[in-house]
Amino acid sequence: MMKRHSIARVVKVTICLLTPILLSFSGIGVDDIDKKKSTSKEVDDTLRIVITGDLLLDRGVRQKIDMAGVDALFSPTIDSLFHSSNYVIANLECPVTKIRERVFKRFIFRGEPEWLPTLRRHGITHLNLANNHSIDQGRRGLLDTQEQIKKAGMIPIGAGKNMEEAAEPVLISTSPRHVWVVSSLRLPLENFLYLPQKPCVSQESIDSLIMRVKRLRATDKNCYILLILHWGWEHHFRATPQQREDAHKLIDAGADAIVGHHSHTLQTIETYRGKPIYYGIGNFIFDQRKPMNSRACLVELSITAEKCKAKALPIEIKNCTPYLSK
């Protein structure tokens, strides 16, 4: 039954998850990556997708990699979850390239391309680039990052040779129904001139996103539409009124779920008209050590032909490595 969101529901879910702290149809993706298989998945015909928060491969994380290797970033609990899922979408919070063309800004990151195959081996299948750090090494660095991701056997989301390409929805799966991912950065870029005909990340306006969602829904009424948005205020626990208004408009337009990041903290979780909105899921692999930054969650979607179950999986990050909370 479709109904307006319940404030009590919002508060209840938020408190439960924050307590540990305080205590155009591109068709990209389906043929480009091997779908994971298991007998149990084939029997219950359920597609399982996990979405993570920010994944950094520089600064303190780089130091850990230098000391212990990329494998040390993945705990056994995370490995088990990822390998039992069909697809894992992480937000890559840095370019991964040998190109050094630094943009003049406060925080500038860069990871090494040779680290990417290890991410794939641990179960990550898609990397979102629609964020405020993918352009840290300029336009050439962004394009090279896309190519390096593809070489490692993963699929980049939310970037392209121009705005039209960057904003293209990505088809994750065709079974048990079409699952589309629409990704966008909803923040201004620091000291980076946005030119829609040049290499860039997706920065679609809310009105443009609404129209894109409506077109997808009109074309395929039974498809599942996931929005991944990099937005909001850093180090805050609550979404802004504008975020909530925009999220509701996107659900009204036909989106099935919204997952956000950028805040580096776990934010409000809301159910609106029966659809989940995760305003900010926090970090994933990151070097921030404050409790507010080291408590986060993953989002697990279990999709069948007729319905979807969304679940928040709390994690704790210790020395850059995430662990599922008990």
Closest residue by Cα to residue 195 from 171, 163, 170, 225: 163
> Would you say residue 10 has pLDDT above 50?
no
Question: By mean pLDDT, which of 15-29, 153-167, 181-195 is the weakest?
Answer: 15-29
Within a domain: 2: no
CATH number, domain at 140? 3.60.21.10
Dihedral angle, C-alpha 97, 101, 105, 110, nearest 10 °: 20
Mean pLDDT of the chain: 90
Within a domain: 103: yes
Helix (H) or strand (E) holding 42: helix 39-44
Write the DSSP symbol of residue 76: H
Within a domain: 1: no
pLDDT at 42: 42
pLDDT at 36: 54
Within a domain: 72: yes
This prediction has a pTM of 0.89
pLDDT at 158: 99
Within a domain: 278: yes
Can you give the C-alpha Rg of the chain in angstroms?
18
Q: How confident is the model at residue 35 (pLDDT cuts 50, 70, 90)?
A: low
pLDDT digits (tens, 9 = 90+) for 221-259: 999 999 999 999 999 999 999 999 999 999 999 999 999
Taking residues 8-26, report their average pLDDT. 40
Encoded tokens for 123: 């179960």
- 103: containing domain: 7-324
Within a domain: 247: yes
* Structural domains of the chain, count: 1
HSE-CB at 61 with a 13 A cutoff on CA atoms is 27
CA-CA distances (angstroms) from residue 116 to 60, 121, 137, 170?
17, 9, 17, 20
Report the SS3 class of residue 81. helix
Higher pLDDT, 122 or 35: 122
Within a domain: 116: yes
Within a domain: 105: yes
pLDDT at 194: 84
Encoded tokens for 49: 């997708």
d(CA 54, CA 269): 17
